[in-house]
Amino acid sequence: MSLPTKQQLAIGVIGTGGMGTRHAINLHRFVPGARVAAVYDLDGGRAAQAAAQSGGGVVFTDPLELIQDPSIEAVLIAAPDDIHARLTLACLEAGKPVLCEKPLATVVPDALAVVEAEVRIGSRLVSVGFMRRFDPEHVAVRTLGHSGAIGAPLLFKGVHRNASAAFGVTGATILINSAGHDIDSARWMLGSEVAEVRVLGRRSRPDLHADTRDLLVVELGFASGALAVVEVYVNAAYGYEVSAELVCQSGAAMTQQPDRALVRAAAHRGFPVPSDWLSRFQEAYVLELMDWVAAVREGRVFTGASAWDGLVTLLVTGACIQSLEGGAVVPLSLPTRPTLYGA
Ligand SMILES: NC(=O)c1ccc[n+]([C@@H]2O[C@H](COP(=O)([O-])OP(=O)(O)OC[C@H]3O[C@@H](n4cnc5c(N)ncnc54)[C@H](O)[C@@H]3O)[C@@H](O)[C@H]2O)c1
């Protein structure tokens, strides 16, 4: 039995490409207490299509009008990376809760402006879409690592592979757009802050643009003494895979790709590899939305990533870009965490 429309949180979705459309459909089909009341995309046809697939919300022609419309109670941003901070700030100005897709911004000053605005308001309105924090496999690894049953966490090992990337993709773009997930994952799994970084990058094939760095190895040293090593390879060809392992003092725990079926075909027996994040992390996206909607409705804090996590990820990313360009270990000292974001 669903709630009457008036009791459902009225959400406006900005950006209805692959990710935004998936969020809109997930909200419509799987999230109790929410409805997609409005959508906006620069491409009006896409917005109309997403609205039709998610309950028939109003199609806006201006994102600021959507944010300011009194009937819209919360906003989900899945527009391109470089306008996330601007739209998030507009939501804060309107006093509306917002789930912003990662990254919170593409440059540190923009992310800092969001944190400063939120601290000024004194209320946690901003959530950031690092959905691995809701992936049951990642949660299981973190829970075991933090239980003490296998000792303290020493090392995070991540693998992040995409089937293919746009031609000419630079190391900096990969660090901002993809590796941010891994940086957030390592901080969240290890429960500590990054103190130093080193990044090496290679071009995987000679036919790629000379500046391409599509294979990165990211090394992070944490204030706790723990370490992280992450492979980010965006032209892995065979499919999309993410894994995270936590090596502790007396044991280790590792995520398993959720395997839906054992397939026997063409003289092989094995498990299919997903082609992209939308299928691998579907459960995490739904759990993330369920928690966000429940948090807004109950007036509590979202259990996922905050604006502070978005800012810190970007500061670490900036140090990673510096290291990739200069080849050195880059030390990092973070600003003091505002009390709004807890201990
Ligand atoms: N959390 C995750 O796992 C995850 C996965 C994929 C993408 N993302 C993030 O989601 C966002 C969208 O990615 P995507 O894969 O859907 O990209 P996409 O290219 O499929 O879609 C982007 C959409 O934004 C629209 N757009 C362009 N300029 C706009 C503007 N000024 N205002 C509003 N809409 C505009 C485009 O028309 C397009 O429909 C990105 O920030 C990306 O980093 C997150």
**Using one digit for the tens of pLDDT, what is the confidence trace for 167-208?**
778 899 999 999 999 999 999 999 999 999 999 999 999 999
Q: How much is the pLDDT for 2?
A: 64
Please identify every stretch of the chain with a pLDDT value under 50, giving residue numbers as ranges: none
In ligand 1, the atom with minimum distance to the C-alpha of 19 is: 16
Sorted by sequence, the CB contacts under 8 Å of residue 274 that are 6+ apart come out as 239, 240, 241, 257, 280
Number of H helices, E strands in the chain: 11, 16
SS3 labels along 257-300: CCCCCCEEECCEEECCCCCCHHHHCHHHHHHHHHHHHHHHHHCC
Q: Is the CB of 41 under 6 A from ligand 1?
A: yes
For 191, phi then psi, to 5°, come to 60, 35
SS3 (DSSP) at 68:
helix
SS3 (DSSP) at 14:
strand
Centroid of ligand 1 to alpha carbon of 218 (angstroms): 25
Q: Is the CB of 64 under 6 A from ligand 1?
A: no
Q: Is the CB of 22 under 6 A from ligand 1?
A: no
User: Which residues sit opposite 202 in a β-bridge?
Assistant: 215
Q: How much is the pLDDT for 4?
A: 73
Q: Is the CB of 79 under 6 A from ligand 1?
A: yes
Place of tokens 């870009």: 321
Q: How much is the pLDDT for 107?
A: 96
Burial 207-246 (b: 16+ CB within 10 A, else e): ebeeebbbbbebbbbbeeebbbbbbbbbbbeebbbbbbbb
Centroid of ligand 1 to alpha carbon of 15 (angstroms): 6
* All structural domains of the chain: 5-131+284-306 (3.40.50.720), 132-275+311-324 (3.30.360.10)
Q: Is the CB of 277 under 6 A from ligand 1?
A: yes
Q: How much is the pLDDT for 167?
A: 75
Q: At what angle do helices 180-190 and 307-326 cross, to 10 degrees?
A: 120
Residue among 25, 62, 75, 101 whose CB has most ligand 1 atoms within 8 A, to mutate: 101
Centroid of ligand 1 to alpha carbon of 294 (angstroms): 24
Q: Is the CB of 102 under 6 A from ligand 1?
A: yes
Q: Is the CB of 43 under 6 A from ligand 1?
A: yes
In ligand 1, the atom with minimum distance to the C-alpha of 87 is: 32
Of 81, 228, 247, 85, give the one whose Cα is nearest residue 160. Answer: 228
Sorted by sequence, the CB contacts under 8 Å of residue 336 that are 6+ apart come out as none
Q: Is the CB of 129 under 6 A from ligand 1?
A: yes
